[in-house]
Structure 1
Amino acid sequence: MQFLSTIWIFIQDQILGMKWLSSLIGEFLYSIGLDTSGKIGGSVQFFIYDVIKIVFLLCMLIFVISYIQSFFPQERTKWILGTFHGIGANILAALLGTVIEKLHLENQVEEFIRNAKQIDILQEELTVKDRIKYAWEQVVETLKKVFPYILVGVGIGAFIHNWIPEDIIVRFLGTGNPFGVIIATIVGVPMYADIFGCIPIAEALLAKGARLGVVLSFMMGVTTLSLPSMIMLKKAIKPKLLGLFIGICIVGIIIVGYAFNAFQYLLI
């Protein structure tokens, strides 16, 4: 059992967490005269380490998902959804990224979207080389879009990690504040970042003593309910559907946040 625990810790720290990279960057910064134990040096180390780590993990994740997605063209997705009914169909539809049609809210989507013509092109059988090319193109395209947000998110995380006093974060988002989940959700709304840009902020908040559920609520609030996202959605969907979406998301985020707070001792 101890052996398995040691293996898991190694995987978590050195493979997933890439702690070796942090040490390597720290040694490099020290060699050029920057003290990583200080605020400035620590922030620089945090920034470089998290940017490299997040970009690497993001590229790997997108590549794998895109490769799998290449097996599911639009026609096949429709056929799969058509064979399921009830709650199973709703769960599968959510996993495949389709939900509006199943909820019968088509009339809440703006006319110019509903009237847009869809062209179904029969997909020829792709080779492994074709699928790899498609997956790599998705990696490049996605990285171009989210990289600026990664830089912003890591910058905010580095600031929180090394410059904001721990007692301030604990006071508002820590154990003692029963409204921490709600506050974190609301604070995330005016921000705009990709989920990978939120990861370093989450790491910094956890390191400062914020509860797990609070951190998750903040991340979900930023990525799901950000004000710029709502403005863009308003151009595509009508107020009723937008309000329903926001309401469901807020309730879901708060429930998830308090649930993870309650069971944090089992997870960390």
Structure 2
Amino acid sequence: MMRRTNNLISAINFITFLSSIPILGGGIWLSSRANSTECLRFLQWPILIIGITIMVISLLGFLGTCYHQSWLLQLYLLVMFLIIVTLTGFIVFAFGVTDSGHGQVIVNRLFLEYQLSDYSGWLKNRVSDPEYWFKISSCLRDAHACSGMHRTVQVPTTGMVVSESVDMFYHRRLSAIESGCCKPPTSCGYVYMNETLWNVNAGMLVNDIDCIRWSNDQQQLCYQCDSCKAGLLATLKRSWRKVSIINIVILIILVFVYVVACAAFRNDKRMDNDEAYREARMTKSRPGRFEL
């Protein structure tokens, strides 16, 4: 019976170890995006820390099972409980800070437009902070976030390679960052020349500050626009939701594993107590020696 309990606890530790892999994968994926398109490097650290902690504590559980160290198993259960609480809090936080905002559909445009006013909450305030946005916009610029905008087509009659037409551009599926940071807002009325070169129209709107912030300078573009901030928030929302869905599945597995581990640990303690009780009874029932 003791061997069966140890095998069960070992299996539980193995499942816990495997559960840390997708969590670490999600953190690494967020980290790779933070270094390329999203430029918010603090977001991936909670996931990475949780994943590493789960991996370490599962190894401690293995050691506790192999060497019959009950204090290691107790530590395993305590830390697992804290991990479950922390992971639950992170999931709630991730959904809470990304529950607002969406892209707006524009007539005769396949891509969406993004406005900062559609977003609210802590994440918006964080991104909108001038000092912090300076770092983010510099990161977007250094990561060449708009490098994928430029496309060319070959004219069949002449064989010349030219930029795509305005109709072709309007029917492209731009990413949220490309739509918000790499072109002026559609409402401004700029005249399309190529993907990142737009001329001022006589009827251009000036009541939108983003219309003034746009620059044809390839180092400026709309990196200082509110639409760029909104595009970044939309991108973060999609990334966090994807990782949170994975975390919800892992959380369900961890809760199940934790309940089974608690039951196995209590059963192990009960068997130890029963064995100690039987040994005490046997010792007490042995005939003593009498001296004359």
Q: TM-score if structure 2 supplies the norm length?
A: 0.23
Q: TM-score if structure 1 supplies the norm length?
A: 0.24
Is the helix fraction higher in 1 or 2? 1
Q: Which structure carries more relative contact order (alpha carbon 8 Å, separation 6+)?
A: 2
Higher Rg: 2
Is the strand fraction higher in 1 or 2? 2
